[in-house]
Structure 1
Amino acid sequence: MVDSDNNFVYTGNPNDEADQMRFVITSATEIVDEDGNPLTLDDLKPGKMVRIKHANFQTSSIPPQTTAFVIELLST
Structure 2
Amino acid sequence: MGVPSMPELLIILAIVVLLFGAKKIPDLAKGIGKGIKSFKSEMKEDEIAENKADEKIEKKEETTSADKVEDTKQA
Interval of TM-score (by shorter of Structure 1 and Structure 2): under 0.3
TM-score normalised according to structure 2 size: 0.18
TM-score normalised according to structure 1 size: 0.18
Higher-strand-fraction structure: 1
